[in-house]
Structure 1
Amino acid sequence: MITGLDHVALAVRDLDAAVDGYRRLFGREPELQPGDGAKRAWFAFPNMALEVIAADGAGPAGDRVRARIDAAGEGLWLAAFAVDDVAGAARLLARRGLEVDAGDAVAWVQASGLTFVLTKAGARPTSPPVADEASAVAALDHIVVHSPNPDRAVGVYGAKFGLDLRLDRANEKWGARQLFFRCGEAVFEVGSSLKTPPTDGPDGFGGLAWRVNDPNAAQARMAAAGFDVSEVREGRKPGTKVFTVRNAPGGAPTLMITQNAEAVAT
């Protein structure tokens, strides 16, 4: 049913400031798209896109953005899954007990306190680099969701959405249980604490991890662009190197990661 992660939307108040920030962070030039009461900037990558969106006048999209920011402030708003048949996927998820609002081109789905969208699969050209390609962000590695109930997450994201659960790992040292679902050419990761008992509370978007080809070059470029970045360090997964961006635009927790061939294969 779901063929991949189409895009992730970041709701912001000031589009110009957020676009300037992500242009400097990614080292890529976005496509600007107004309409339906909202202004958007699309940063496209080979495996998905980041939609930065702000309200701009009257219209359904602008109303949704305003409602989101009034309720929860700026930040990661929704994840959109690519499907071949929006209407058919919407009917199936509704039969599986999810709250679905189906439109002509997209369907909105509420699940475990989060907002998802089903949209027709389609390809976008990768946003052109504004700096050296080696130091630009290359793709999304994974999106993180925090859940207070990992077994519920298996049922919702695995059984109902049909995402492919590749790994269910509990690590006492980190005090966390991690679920890794394959979603096209990206990973949908769900993290839960082992230090507290499961609850029926809502899930929340935890952040985004982006792939870079040369971590040292990317870290140096981002630092020079004014970002507060950590040192490049070994990642938790063998064969990876990572660094953190502490002040990413729109308040989205952001990690940069490089994987060698062995890490990608596993």
Structure 2
Amino acid sequence: MILGLDHIAVAVDDFETAVDSYRRLIGREPELEPRDGANRAWFHLANMALEVIAPSGVGAAGDRLRARLDAAGEGIWIAAFQSDDIATDARLLSRRGLDVEPFRDVARVRAAGLDFVLTAGRIGAQPSPALAETAIPGLDHIVVHTPNPDRALGLYGAKFGLDLRLDRANEGWGARQLFFRCGDAVFEVGASLKAPVTDGPDRFGGLAWRVADPDATQVRLAAAGFDVSEVRTGRKPGTKVFTVRNAPGGVPTLMLSAEPLTEAA
């Protein structure tokens, strides 16, 4: 079964620049891993990891990454789910009508135009070394935009088996939001109430990171050269949020206060 969100891969053109930016944004020192025609930087957090990846040479991963960048540009490329039995979960998803490709020790899944991976996960991984007192401890949620919310319910709930906690329509925001629990993070799917339902592809939206002190984190990121909004009251009672307008890889990025995470793998 799927245990949670293992990692998110962000595809970039300029590896060194993106890694330096995420190092300053997250406030942690990554683990570098060049292999198979691609450079990778892993930022391990308490509840998941961020993989920054760019093509670097000859290899299957580099070729796939170049094709992705040519087709869609920089941004979130893959969401990887942690599985306790990859072979069994891959067979189940295939029987449920998804496009599944076993590959080495993982399984690739293509669904609603998005790329997912089933993986055993970051076994034994510890959070990357903190470079600042306001280093980000973990991810709060990833956002996916869909033109078809009922399809999304069937895909992410019935087929992937994610735990739907809330299905909310808000006319004032003009949006319907589906919140799936995914380990110690949330997989949020949003749909416009103003647009017609279509069979078009889903697309990855942005990332919302948990921070213990939004005010101090906003000051740190502004000093590090990021274009940040003012800290404002969040939609969830008792929370504060702010936006990072120029996050690396063009990924829409939000920082929000939440219960602190335990620094554990």
Q: For the structure 1 residues 260 and 46, does the alpha-carbon distance in structure 2 shift closer, same or farther, using more than 3 Å as the test?
A: closer
Contact 2:86 2:120 (C-alpha < 8 Å) held by counterparts: yes
Paired residues for 1:212-251 under 5 Å: 212-251=211-250
> What is the deviation of 1:138?
1.2
Q: 1:5, CA displacement in angstroms?
A: 0.5
Counterpart of 1:130 in structure 2 is 131
Report the residue type matching 2:68 in the other structure: R
Distance 1:229 1:138 in 2: 19
Stretch of structure 1 that moved more, 118-127 or 107-116: 118-127
Q: Secondary structure at the match of 1:208?
A: strand
SS at match of 1:137: coil
Indicate the residue corresponding to 1:23 in structure 2: 23
1:9–1:77: 8 Å Cα contact kept in structure 2?
A: yes
Normalising by the residue count of structure 1, what TM-score does the alignment of the two structures yield?
0.96
SS at match of 2:208: strand
Provide the C-alpha distance between the structure 2 equivalents of 1:25 and 1:219, rounded to a whole number of angstroms: 10
Q: Displacement of 1:123 after TM fit? A: 3.8
Q: Offset at 1:28?
A: 0.7
Q: Counterparts of 1:31-50 in structure 2 under 5 Å? A: 31-50=31-50
Give SS of 1:159's match. helix
Counterpart code for 1:31: E
2: CA distance, partners of 1:15 / 1:104: 25
Q: How far does residue 104 in structure 1 lie from its aligned partner after superposition? A: 2.5
CA contact (8 A) 1:240 1:260 kept: no
Matched, 1:78 2:68: no
| Paired residue secondary structure (2:188) | strand
Does the CA contact (< 8 Å) of 1:239 and 1:260 recur in 2? no
TM normalised by structure 2 equals 0.96
Distance 2:213 2:29 in 1: 19
Render the CA deviation track for 1:205-225: whole Å, top value 9, x for unaligned.
000000000111100000000
Deviations 1:137-173 (CA, angstroms, capped at 9, x unpaired):
1100000000000000000000000000000000000
Describe how 1:251-266 pairs up with structure 2 within 5 A: 251-259=250-258
- In 2, the alpha carbon distance for the partners of 1:91 and 1:228 equals 45
Query: 1:157 matched to which residue of 2?
Result: 156
**Cα separation, partners in 2 of 1:97 and 1:188, compared to 1, 3 Å:** same
Aligned counterparts, 1:43-192, within 5 A: 43-121=43-121, 122-132=123-133, 135-192=134-191
What is the CA deviation profile of residues 29-48 of structure 1, one whole-angstrom value per residue up to 9, with x for unaligned ones? 10001111110000010100
Map Cα deviations across residues 75-131 of structure 1 (whole Å, 9 max, x no partner): 110100000111111110000000011123011100001000000132411011112
Structure 1 unaligned runs (5+)? 262-266
- Three-state SS of the structure 1 residue aligned to 2:109 is strand
Taking the aligned partners of 2:222 and 2:216, their CA distance within structure 1 comes to: 10
| Residue 11, structure 1, aligned to residue 11, structure 2 | yes
Q: 1:113 to 1:225 in 2, by over 3 A?
A: same
- Higher mean displacement: 233-242 or 222-231: 233-242
2:144 and 2:208 map into 1 onto residues whose CA distance is 12
Amino acid corresponding to residue 119 of structure 1 in structure 2: T
- CA positional deviation for 1:259: 2.3
User: What displacement does 1:56 show?
Assistant: 1.1
Distance 2:194 2:124 in 1: 42
Task: Tell me how far apart the structure 2 counterparts of residues 153 and 8 of structure 1 sit (CA, whole Å).
Answer: 19
Question: Paired residue for 1:264?
Answer: none
Q: Which amino acid aligns with 1:154?
A: L
Question: The residue matched to 1:110 in structure 2 has which SS?
Answer: strand
State the shift of 1:260 in Å.
Answer: 5.4
Q: 2:263 aligns to what?
A: none
CA apart distance, 1:185:
0.4
Give the conservation status (yes or no) of the 8 Å contact 2:212–2:259: no
